[in-house]
Structure formats: C-alpha cells, structure tokens
Amino acid sequence: MSITHPAWAMNGAGNAFILIDARQGGPLALSEADVRALHAAKPFDQLLALEPDADADARLRVWNADGGEVGACGNGTRAAAWLMFEDGGSESLALSSLGGLLKARRLADGSAEVDLGAARLDWREIPLAREMDTVRLDYAVDLPGGWRLDGPGAVSMGNPHAVFFVDDLLALPLAQIGPVVERDPLFPERVNAGFAQVKGRDRIRLRVFERGAGLTLACGTGACAALVAAHRRGLTDREAVIEADGGELPVRWDADGHVHLSGPVEMEGRLEL
C-alpha cells in the first residue's frame, strides 16, 4: 500500500490523528487491514481523510485504530477544519460525513469551532438493543474487586456514547471497565464508554474508552455526549469546559439541539505514508 496524497500527524487536545488530504483525488480505497498497517507504522487514535464532495467543501472520513470506519470524530473534525482554514479562503465551511453534515467556523484566536449537529437521544438512534430511557439506562457493569457502575446516560453524536457519572474518576480501573462496556450486547454497534466527574455547573472531568481505540487523551464527541448527558440530569448548564487528559474542550449545547465543540489543535508534522 502506498499513499501519495499529502498527510500530516496532528492532535486535538492530545487526541492523535493522521490526516490524509485527498481533496485533489478520488475516494481512498482503504481496507481495515490497510488502516491497521498504517497504525502499526505510526500509531494514532483515528485516521482522517479529506476527499472531494460536490455538495460540501469536502468529505471527511474517519477510521478507528482497529480499522473500522465510523460516523463521527469531534476532535478530528476540528483538526480537519483547522487545516482547511489554514489553507485560506472562507471563515466557515461544511463537511459531509457518514454521521451527517458538519459545519465549522473559524474563531478569533484562529481555532475551529464545529457544529456536530443535533444530539440524538432516542434509544433507536444510539442504538440500543432494546427500548430504554436514555437519561439513565437500566444497565450496570460489575467487575472483580467490588467495582460496580450503573445508570449511564446514552447519547449519539453520530457515534454511540454511554456516559457514567462517578465521584472519583482517578480511582477507577478504566482499562478494565472500558472493554466490558464497549462490547456489551446492549450496544449492537459497540459504544464509546465515558466516565465523567462533575466539578461544577460549568466544568466536567472526563475520560473516554473509545470503541476501536481504547483510552485516549481526549474524545471530542465524548465531551459533547458528557455535557448533554449531564445537562439532561440537571447536573450542569448547557455550556461547560470538559477537562480531558490532553487539554480542555469547551462544549455548548444550544436550545435547538445542536452541539458545538472547540479547543486546541496541534500540527506535528508532514508524513510520508
């Protein structure tokens, strides 16, 4: 496998990406094995590709480290939009994706804020295997040593999230809990498992075990899901800073249901793939 398009290593609050700019070519033909081979050579959380699109400024595709193509990546969308803004042109843009149309605008500090669309809250949209109240799922996970977590909120941001609210985030063995939640039969498409400690009406500490990637330094859609799930329970306002291991992600859930994400992006360098 040889990729001739320009490619960069980037990160959004520590969330690690390889971004391939294929806007001057056709769609990339990448198998799961190809993605896994790229990950073995240069580890990443997600592989991103920009491709031409007749109805948007570009098409954004996302693969997890395990090779599976997914519908959304919040920090990846920010990184892709930032790169396009750096190329010059408009101060706003639209990206098509498997998860729907994603809009971005350039902020005064040069960063990109993305509108990831409306949070999806119906059990069929997550999706779940059976009907359930997504404000607090009738679901618990037990692990050896007496660990038990229950009643997560469920939100889809174009990809499925289950958000547990905890008192002491750092005390939890997330490397053990994450895989159990990710592959539970309740979640037919697997799930991103979030663990949130609410620190105030406008601040949440969060770690996310991402499906197909494991524990990451940040998860943009996970940050959005955490705010939505917390506000639905009355724990926070509609806007908060989400503290990830790799940095802070401001999130806003508008009254129209759309969720907006901003935060830092770092360009690490050009790659030869």
Question: Which long-range contacts does 49-54 make (Cβ < 8 Å, 24+ apart)?
Answer: 49/19, 49/20, 49/21, 49/22, 50/19, 50/20, 50/21, 50/22, 50/23, 50/80, 50/83, 50/84, 51/22, 51/23, 51/25, 51/26, 51/27, 52/22, 52/23, 52/24, 52/25, 52/26, 53/95, 53/96
- Claim: this prediction has a pTM higher than 0.75: yes
Residue 262: the pLDDT is 97
Sign of CA pseudo-dihedral 211, 214, 220, 226: positive
Residue 94: the pLDDT is 96
Statement: residue 161 has pLDDT above 90: yes
CATH of the domain spanning 140-261:
3.10.310.10
Q: Which residues contact 65 (CB under 8 A, 6 or more apart)?
A: 35, 36, 39, 43, 44, 45, 46, 47, 212, 213, 214
Question: 92 or 99: which carries more pLDDT confidence?
Answer: 92
Kindly give the pairing relationship between strand 69-70 and strand 7-12. unpaired
Q: What are the structural domain ranges in the chain?
A: 7-118, 140-261
Residues 122-154 pLDDT 10s: 999 999 999 999 999 999 999 877 888 999 999
Catalytically active residues, by annotation: 73, 219
Residues 1-58 pLDDT 10s: 667 889 999 999 999 999 999 999 778 889 999 999 999 999 999 999 999 999 999 9
Give yes or no on whether 7-118 and 140-261 have one common fold.
yes
CATH class of domain segment(s) 7-118: alpha beta
Statement: residue 208 has pLDDT above 70: yes
Three-state SS at 26: coil
Question: Are the beta carbons of 263 and 247 closer than 8 angstroms?
Answer: yes
DSSP state of 171: G
Residue 1: the pLDDT is 60
